[in-house]
Amino acid sequence: MAFEFIQSQLEQRRQQQLFRQRCTQDSAQGRVLVSEGRQYLNFSSNDYLGLARHPKIVEAWREGAKRYGVGCGGSPLVTGFQSPHHDLEQLLCEWQGRPAALLFNSGFSANQGLIKTLLGKNDLLLQDKLNHASLIEAGMLSACPSKRFAHNQLEQLTRRLAERDQQNCLVITEGVFSMDGDQAPIKAMAQLCQQHNSWLMVDDAHGVGCLGEQGRGSLNQQQVNADEVQIQMLTFGKALGVAGASLLCDQELHDYLINFDKSYVYSTAMPAAQAMAISAAIKLVRADHSHQQQLQANIQLFKCLAAELKLPLSQSTTAIQPILIGSSERALVASQQLKQQGFWVTAIRPPTVPPNTARLRITLSSHHQREDIHALLAALASIVGEQHEH
Ligand SMILES: *Cc1c(COP(=O)(O)O)cnc(C)c1O
């Protein structure tokens, strides 16, 4: 028998309560989610600003499809770079105050491509231990030596920077950490990297749209200038409600990636209609602050009620509010009990998070109403509170 590990590894996952399965959703993203004929209040979506079905963005996609059809026929160097792609790149540059932007079909492929293209065996990659799998995995697959530093620990990062030889070095962190909701001290990291002649990259998948003036993201919120962080990665599938990603950098690195990054060169470009929808989402986020304000109000309310109920709360002040449970089994049970009461809250288990840190990953959105949050917390108090007593 070939590939016998498939069966044994699946069996192991089942025994450890780590087996994963998909649930079919029958509804669009929104406050309420329909799955297998039942309705749930949705507390698991990354659609933080409720834009995934915003009429203006849907209309932009429709208009794009009418004008450009549904596919762009090729990779960006062949036929796949159309004026909506160009316009979106220009809009990104202006919004973020950067010389150049490059579009990708996903944050996953942007991260993989960048790391594999930029770093060779004589270079060094330093990553926060809690960085997203797309970054950690690319580091493992690339020829370059990569080391991790403890989450947000600048002393350890300083040591790693100081102990290296004269290698090119790239430090990567996230603006907002995807499973914890806490933030990196980007300003201090940028200063450190500058002192040690290293580049810094910030993956702001969960910051863009939600944070900073005009939703510019974590750098703007922390008053970090674009030239202090050499590479910024933004995704469009979370707060911006669409899909896709961009690397923002200087003109030279941009040209280098166009010439050498295989995940850019050898992949069909996103449809022009999608680029138009992303542009519409960015314009909306810049012009209308009400979504961000509503999200902030919901985060405040959640934290306030959770503190009153003495729930095991994290320090996070972002839309990602994890409730740490510990054991995978208990996290699954809590998630199932919440589902029975009509709340969709995903249990996040290893290897997505470190061993024994399974959690309920609650995400808040501008589309939640006050009573939704009150109801969720009442349910959490009885379910998680009860687990604590046993
Ligand atoms: C979601 C995410 C990605 C991947 O982006 P996609 O566009 O969904 O592929 C990358 N980095 C972080 C931190 C993320 O949370």
Which atom from ligand 1 is nearest to the alpha carbon of 46? 1
Tell me the backbone φ, ψ of residue 122, rounded to 5 degrees: -95, 5
- At residue 297, the pLDDT reads 98
Residues 380, 361: Cα–Cα separation, whole Å: 12
Q: Give residues (CB < 6 A) around ligand 1.
A: 106-108, 111, 132, 134, 174, 178, 203, 205-206, 235, 237, 245
Probe ligand 1: pick from 45, 104, 108, max atoms within 8 Å of CB?
A: 108
Distance (Å) from CA 3 to ligand 1 centroid: 30
Q: Cα angle at 94 between 91 and 95, to 5 degrees?
A: 80
| Residues identified as active-site | 46, 132, 174, 178, 203, 206, 238
Which residue's CA is minimally distant from atom 6 of ligand 1? 107
Question: In terms of DSSP H, where are the helices of the chain?
Answer: 5-15, 55-68, 83-96, 107-118, 133-141, 154-162, 186-195, 218-221, 251-260, 262-265, 272-287, 290-308, 328-340, 370-389
DSSP states of 340-374 as a string? HTTEE-EEE-TTSS-TT-EEEEEE--TT--HHHHH
Q: Give the residue whose CA is nearest to atom 3 of ligand 1.
A: 107
Atom of ligand 1 nearest to the CA of 245: 7
Other beta carbons within 10 angstroms of residue 19's beta carbon come to: 13
Residue 205 C-alpha to ligand 1 middle, in angstroms? 6
Nearest CA to ligand 1 atom 1: 205
- Supply φ then ψ for residue 124, to 5 degrees: -135, 135
The 3-state DSSP class for residue 377 equals helix
d(CA 231, CA 247): 7
The two tokens of residue 74 are 């090729």
pLDDT along the chain (390 residues), means of 10: 94 91 90 94 97 98 98 96 98 98 98 97 96 96 94 97 91 97 98 97 98 98 97 98 98 98 98 98 97 98 95 93 94 96 95 93 97 97 76
pLDDT at 151: 97
Could you tell me the distance, in angstroms and rounded to a whole number, from the CA of residue 244 to the centre of ligand 1? 9
Ligand 1 atom 5 nearest Cα: 107
Q: What are phi and psi of 389, to 5 degrees?
A: -75, -15
Rounded Cα–Cα distance for residues 29 and 17 (Å):
28
For ligand 1, the distance from its centroid to the CA atom of residue 389, given in whole angstroms, is: 36
Atom of ligand 1 nearest to the CA of 174: 13
**165: which residues sit within 8 A by CB, 6+ positions away?**
none
Question: What was the pLDDT predicted at 115?
Answer: 98
pLDDT of residue 209: 98
Q: Cis omega (within 30 of 0) on the bond before 84? A: no
Sign of CA dihedral 111, 117, 118, 119: positive
Instruction: For a ligand 1 pocket test, name from 105, 178, 211 the mutation site with the most ligand atoms within 8 angstroms of its C-beta.
Output: 178
Tokens representing 27 are 């509804």
Distance 137 CA to ligand 1 centre (A): 13
Q: What is the pTM of this model?
A: 0.96
- pLDDT reported for residue 51: 97
